[in-house]
Amino acid sequence: MTQVLPGCGRPDEPPELFAAVLSPNRSLSRKGAVLVVGGAGLVGTVMGGIFLLQGAWPVFGFYGLEVLVLWLMLRQNYRDGRVYETVRLTRAQLTVERGDRNGPQGSWSFPAAWLTVSIDEPVHHESQLRLTSHGRSLVVGAFLAPEERADFAGALTQALDRLRRDATAPGP
């Protein structure tokens, strides 16, 4: 999911020309996850009860184990989904900050005037969105869907084009 933020910089920072927060999409809400685990638990209890009444008591435990594993996997999936990348463009530089559930993990800066944005064409699942400047490059938005990566690449390229057009325009 890409969220473009209009001018959200702090007063002591240069004005932002472009800002976006990138985060993975979660198609199943927390409420939906509770319903899935609850439904699996209900089905497991009923089916396990049937086997328990027929004397196959170990089956009841395996149904419970399945529900526990499902719950643990969904919980880990939501924890892993709390990653983000913040992309900020000012007249001087583009800054990318990465973080996860434990807070910020790293920050990279590139001079805006020399930055290139590239994405593999045609855009597919393995396509990478790469920011490059002065021999350094950084892959961003790896957790986004291919269409989201392409949209973000287009929006960032447009912002950089506007910046370069304004920089070369004659002054008043």
Structural domain boundaries of the chain?
Answer: 2-26+81-168, 30-80
Task: Give the CA angle between residues 15, 17, 23 to the nearest 5°.
Answer: 110
What CATH number does the domain located at 2-26+81-168 have? 2.30.29
Q: What is the pTM of this model?
A: 0.69
Tens of each residue's pLDDT in the chain, 172 residues: 555 554 444 555 668 889 999 988 878 888 999 999 999 999 999 999 999 999 998 998 899 999 999 999 998 888 887 889 999 999 999 999 998 878 788 999 999 888 999 998 888 888 899 999 988 999 999 888 899 999 999 999 999 999 888 877 665 6
- The token duo for 9 is 């910089």
Helix and strand tally (H, E) in the chain? 3, 8
Which residues are within 8 A (CB) of 47 and not within 5 positions of it... i.e. 6 or more apart?
Answer: 59, 63
